[in-house]
Amino acid sequence: MSAQQVLFDAPGPRARRNILIGNIVGVLVGLGILAWIISTLAEKGQLEASMWTPFLESRTWEFFILPGLVNTLKAAAIAIVTSVLFGLIFGVGRLSHLAPVRWVAGIVVEFLRAVPVLLMMIFFWLALGSSGAVQPQDAPLIAVVIALTLYNGSVIAELVRSGVQGLPRGQREAGMAIGLTANQSLRSIEVPQALIAMLPALISQFVVILKDSALGFIITYPELLQYMRRLGVGEGNIIPSLMVAAAIFIIINFALSTLATRLSVLLSFRTKGRKPAVVGAIAMDAAST
Amino acid sequence: MEDYLSLFETYDVLAAFWVNIQLSFWAAIWALAIGTVLALFRISPIPSLQWFGAAYVNIFRNTPLTIILAFGFLGLFSVMQISLAADLNASLFRIAIVGLAVYHAAFVCEAIRSGVNTVPLGQAEAARAIGLSFLPAARLIILPQAFRGAIAPLGNVLIALIKNSTVAAAGSVATEASGLMKTMIEFRSDLVIPIFFTFALGFVVLVIPIGLLTTWASRKLAVAR
């Protein structure tokens, strides 16, 4: 149900007046909080022009914001590709008709979903750095990508599994009826349909990957947050710098989330006959990290 | 093996996990409180409150937690010199709790809203029919059912919160698990794999029972319809 419309009646004159009063009070309180934040920031000298002018200079963009953003997007892009691959392999593994394959895939996925991404990142960063298997300067990027892949790949594996399980049984039966084996039917009939149904949830997971790439900050990967901290330390405007970093993330993620919502509306006619609740529930889980 | 066991004499692994549990506990309480208020805002009839709830959720859900916690340390603590306790470490600890709570409140709000969506239309209509206005209807009819429908997503938020409490490292809470793991690996790089699995299993042991418990509770407490 859409709660907004049914929790309260179509307002009469008195209710309309109350809503108006509530609205005015709400706006005033909101403005009050905003004014308090602004005055506190101003008191500490955070709103002086010198704090914000660096963002108008091209060298700030050239040497800090853009290189940082490129590194963030690079890590996120690689991790998105590898997580989808990981998710497909383990998602199909969890649906295998061979019980041992199912168990192994299930244990791996459940384990990786329970371990904090940051722990995996620190582990791979230090392990790769000290083993000499990779160049020391490459270790942070590789650690970020591996950790993001293992965690988000496991979530995507669950999406694949729930997507396939949400398909009508007739799809598999029809596949078997035309002489496909169980694996062939899974690969060529069920998974492709599940992928389309899970597209919105998948894009929500990309938002998680992009956000979590900022964890690279802790393991010295030079992503956006790292560059913005350097800028903030250099220019003495750490608060404006972090705010700009947050704003960049918010804009990109908001665009991705909007795309996911649009897609889910667009695709709803293709998934109408099924139980979209299953995919929706997992998506909620995915978004919360 | 003896090498491995001697680690536990040098480093207090349980104390590190205890820090994470405390961070999660306090952050969970605050996030639940803020998130419930936000959910009420978003389902209320007052446009400015709806707008505020939506803006809050969109801003904090799309900001990396790392930035929020780094902001708490670099911005609020270092530059603004906001201190929430007399003691330096206690102050950083509380700022990390605020950061975790503010971030997860957005997800709590969405979880409760998804719970509200499980309440059938007839319930709200019946509440209106017996003359309840918005707040009594929300308090007596909608929210009790919504919370029961929101147990599973709220459990997922709690699990995410426990795992995310390791990000407090970005807020300079040095005593928590990921920081200790880093220190241990740096000093004993020969034992890097056992150390990692010790911490990883610690989180598995913390997180999986919560998942099972909330799944069980969401079935047990589901409103029979």
pLDDT at A271: 58
How many angstroms separate the CA of residue A215 from the nearest CA in chain B? 6
A112 touches chain B (CB under 8 A): no
Average pLDDT over residues A123-139: 87
pTM value is: 0.90
- pLDDT tens digit sequence for A4-21: 455 666 778 888 898 899
pLDDT at A49: 84
Q: Do A3 and B43 touch (CB under 8 A)?
A: yes
- pLDDT tens digit sequence for B138-155: 889 988 999 998 999 999
Q: Which range, of A152-161, B38-47, B81-90, averages the lowest pLDDT? A: B81-90
| Distance in angstroms (rounded) separating the CA atoms of residues B157 and B168 | 17
Contact B68, B99 (CB under 8 A): yes
Whether the predicted pLDDT of A285 surpasses 60: no
- Give the number of other CB atoms < 10 A from CB of residue A133: 11
Task: State whether residue B84 is helix, strand or coil.
Answer: coil
pLDDT at A247: 95
CA distances (Å), A91 to each of A100, A156, A178, B54, B181, in order? 14, 7, 24, 34, 31
Average pLDDT over residues A199-226: 93
pLDDT at A273: 53
Q: Do A281 and B74 touch (CB under 8 A)?
A: no
Q: Which residues are CB-contacts of B72 (< 8 A; sequence separation ≥ 6)?
A: B95, B96, B98, B99, B171
Please report, as a single letter, which amino acid is at residue A77: A
Helices (H), B130-174: 134-136, 143-149, 151-164
CA distances (Å), A83 to each of A91, A150, A155, B126, B190, in order? 11, 7, 9, 47, 29
Question: What is the average pLDDT score of chain B?
Answer: 91
A-chain residues near B192 (CB < 8 A): 123, 126-127, 130
Instruction: Give the closest residue to A114 by CA, choosing from A281, A278, A289, A287.
Output: A289
- pLDDT tens digit sequence for B165-214: 999 988 888 788 999 999 999 888 888 899 999 999 999 999 999 999 99
Whether the predicted pLDDT of A286 surpasses 60: no
Whether the predicted pLDDT of A262 surpasses 60: yes
Q: Which residues of B71-83 are buried (b: 16+ CB within 10 A; e: fewer)?
A: bbbbbbbebeeee
| Distance in angstroms (rounded) separating the CA atoms of residues B223 and B225 | 6
| Distance in angstroms (rounded) separating the CA atoms of residues B144 and B141 | 6
pLDDT band per the 50, 70, 90 thresholds, residue B98: very high
Token pair 């009420």: residue:
B40
Question: What is the average pLDDT score of chain A?
Answer: 87
Residue % of chain B over a pLDDT of 70: 100
Average pLDDT over residues B50-59: 94
pLDDT at A105: 95
> Which A residues 256-285 touch B at CB under 8 Å?
257, 281, 284-285
Q: What are phi and psi of B83, to 5 degrees?
A: -130, 130
| Distance in angstroms (rounded) separating the CA atoms of residues B61 and B59 | 6
Q: Specify which of A127-136, A194-203, B54-63 reaches the highest per-range mean pLDDT.
A: B54-63
How many angstroms separate the CA of residue A239 from the nearest CA in chain B? 5
Of A127, A217, A238, the CB nearest to B170: A217
Token pair 């970005």: residue:
B170
pLDDT at A288: 43
| Distance in angstroms (rounded) separating the CA atoms of residues A206 and A203 | 5
Please report, as a single letter, which amino acid is at residue B124: A
Average pLDDT over residues B212-220: 91
B-chain residues near A19 (CB < 8 A): 45-46
B-chain residues near A9 (CB < 8 A): 128
pLDDT band per the 50, 70, 90 thresholds, residue A231: very high
Q: Which residues are CB-contacts of B188 (< 8 A; sequence separation ≥ 6)?
A: B3, B7, B195
The ipTM value here is 0.90
> Which A residues 12-71 touch B at CB under 8 Å?
15, 19, 22-23, 26-27, 30, 40, 44, 46
- pLDDT tens digit sequence for B105-120: 999 999 999 899 888 8
Q: Do A211 and B65 touch (CB under 8 A)?
A: yes
| Distance in angstroms (rounded) separating the CA atoms of residues A208 and B209 | 24
Please report, as a single letter, which amino acid is at residue B173: V
